Amino acid sequence: MTVCHSLKMLAADGKMRLTDVADTEQLFRLVQSILSKKAEPFKLWLAKMGRERADEIEDPEIGIDRLMETYLRKGYSKAWAGYSVKDYKQLKRLKKENLRDNMTNLELVLNMLAEATTTAISKEKEPDRFQQNKKIAREGGSIAGNTRKQIEEKTGKAIVTSATARKQLQNKKNKN
């Protein structure tokens, strides 16, 4: 049974009227009680979200990874590379292709270093707010970014380029 409360809210006619209101949990419970095929996709989504959260309780690293994926999907800076995801994809001339699948070996290693470092810092600091997670992601990215800069200094070559792993393989084959 879902319990909705009434609250006086401004109606279209300009008068304050009692209106049924519910919080997010109550709304989800209400959706679960709807017997309609149209509600099924939403019920399946709720079940999926519930399973994912239960998995995260068992293994908190899953939640950290999910947060990082969301963070990167929104186009926030990949601090190690110095590009937003959108700009990085433009540099590599990618449309719908996966950025990670088109990274060179060094780019992949630095990306993994940034992710692993961010995860390690996050486990130690146990952030509970998005802003804290964002700061930790920047810290992990900065460590990998410093590593990238050191490699570039020693080799004299940029690591983040328009080259993709596929292009690297083709160049190696052409040299042989």
Mean pLDDT, rounded, for 125-152: 88
Q: 137 and 168 share a domain?
A: yes
Confidence band of 82 (pLDDT split at 50, 70, 90): confident
Per-range mean pLDDT, top range of 28-32, 110-114, 134-138: 110-114
Say if residue 154's pLDDT is above 90: yes
Instruction: Give the per-residue SS3 of the chain.
Output: CCCCEEEEEECCCCCEEEEEECCHHHHHHHHHHCCCHHHHHHHHHHHHHHHHHHHHHHCHHHHHHHHHHHHHHCCCEECCCCEEHHHHHHHCCCCCCCCHHHCCHHHHHHHHHHHHHHHHHHHHHCCCCHHHHHHHHHHHHHHHHHHHHHHHHHHCCCCCCCCCHHHHHHHHHHHC
Q: Looking at the structure, do residues 16 and 98 belong to the same domain, yes or no?
A: no
Q: Residues 49-67: pLDDT tens digits?
A: 889 888 888 887 777 677 7
Same domain, 100 and 167: yes
pTM: 0.54
Do 111 and 80 lie in one domain? The reply is yes
138 and 91 share a domain?
yes
